[in-house]
Amino acid sequence: MNKLLRINNYLMNILKILCWKVCFTKKIKNWFLFNLLKKVRFDIAGKSSVNIGICNQNREKLYIGVNNGQLTIGNHCFFNINCSITCLKKITIGNNCKFGNNVVIVDHDHNFITQNPEFVSDSIKIGNNVWVGANVTILRNTVIGDNCVIGAGSVIKGTIGPNHLVIGNIHNKKIIR
- Which residue among the candidates 76, 108, 110, 164 is catalytic per the annotation? 108
Peptide bond into 117 cis (omega under 30): yes
Q: How far is CA 110 from CA 119, 120, 167, in A?
A: 5, 6, 26
Give the count of alpha carbons within 13 A of 26, CB side only: 5
Residue 108 appears among annotated catalytic residues = yes
Nearest partner of 121 among 88, 153, 144, 160, judged by Cα: 88
Please list the active-site residues: 108
